[in-house]
Amino acid sequence: MAPTGLYQHLSSYFKSTNEEAPPPLSIALVGCLSIIYTIIYVLPFYLSPTTRPSPALSRDAPSVIRARIRFVSVSVALSTIATIYILSAYAHASQLEILRLLGCYPISVTEIVQSLLLTALLFAGPLFEKALVQGRWRDWIIGQALQQTLGSWIGWRNYVAGPITEEILFRSLLVPLHLLTPISPTRVVLFTPLYFGIAHIHHFYEFVLTHPHTPWAPSIIRSIIQFTYTTIFGWYATFLFIRTGNIVAVTLAHTFCNWAGLPRVWGKVEPRVAMGGPVIRGKEDGGGIQANNRGATWYWSMVYYVLLVLGALGFRQYLWILTESPRALAKVA
């Protein structure tokens, strides 16, 4: 008999009761779907000359970005249709249960704010560097930074299309499917981000195409590093999604992390030196620290690393508190 109330099923199953029906989906089925979803998300990047980079065509070219956004949008739409069908036909989920499993309803603004606050704690140091040392706080207040960021196709890819399509596929679609298998929620947090990490390995092939004269060793190391930090972020994003059941919160956290970049963990924090390269400002611009104020470098560096450590400690302290939600998809041990 079909389970009545999918959330009751999940709740009782993860409490290890013996009376509840077995999980409606098999690990083999969900594993095959996960592989298929990942392939159809990445493969179109290289099937068409409009999306395939080359030494003469960068992945950052507007035409390439537009074409890739179109392809991944179609891929995610097809994967969403397939997932909805499976949840309905195999798990016998109602329309409301499907929306809840996908993290689309209900959406709590409080959870979004708490998730962003928690994520920002990890970047307390970089936020200090960007806002005060580089003097970007004025641009943030007047909205100039947002306008400049979203005024290019690179910005749309990195902060809008990328986070939305990736979080829908790797969190909203794959996580609920895995939760309906015998895999525990804790293992779902640990293992499903591997698909997310593997999906970024294609950048190795992309880098080789666009840099044919670069030795393979640096390219492999670059890809290993990228796989590592995308998988680590995937752990956090999956944990956040299961704990809050809110795909909007996870997507905005993804956008924030893309914008903030990897925090520096060594080196001096110097005025007007951005993590992605130098930011040129005129002497009449009072928004930043003057470049000739070299004596303050040690001070900014000390404050940065203190904030980085305190932020990490705060993240650990409030990880469970700020992700607590009555809309959690499952209980993570």
Nearby residues of 275 by Cβ (< 8 Å), 6 or more positions away: 126, 129, 261, 262, 264
Of 255, 195, 185, the residue nearest 230 (C-alpha): 195
Q: How far is CA 119 from CA 196, 283, 311, 323, in A?
A: 19, 34, 9, 11
Q: What is the pLDDT of residues 53-112, one digit of tens each?
A: 888 888 899 999 999 999 999 999 999 999 999 999 999 999 999 999 999 999 999 999
Taking 70 as the pLDDT cut, the residues of the chain under it are 1-20, 272-295
Q: What is the pLDDT of residues 149-184, one digit of tens each?
A: 888 999 999 999 999 999 999 999 999 999 999 999
The three-state (H, E, C) secondary structure of the chain, written as one string: CCCCCHHHHHHHHCCCCCCCCCCCCCHHHHHHHHHHHHHHHHCHHHHCCCCCCECCECCCCHHHHHHHHHHHHHHHHHHHHHHHHHHHHCCCCCHHHHHHHCCCCCCCHHHHHHHHHHHHHHCHHHHHHHHHHCCCHHHHHHCHHHHHHCCCHHHHHHHHHHHHHHHHHHHHHHHHHHHCCCCCHHHHHHHCHHHHHHHCCHHHHHHHHHCCCCCHHHHHHHHHHHHHHHHHHHHHHHHHHHHHCCHHHHHHHHHHHHHHCCCCCCCCCCCCEECCEECCCCCCCCCCCCCCCHHHHHHHHHHHHHHHHHHHHHHHHHCCCCCCCCCCCCCCC
Q: How far is CA 12 from CA 3, 8, 115, 243, 270, in A?
A: 11, 6, 27, 17, 55
| 81, two tokens | 């249709």
Estimate the crossing angle of helix 62-89 against helix 27-42, to 10 degrees.
160
pTM: 0.86
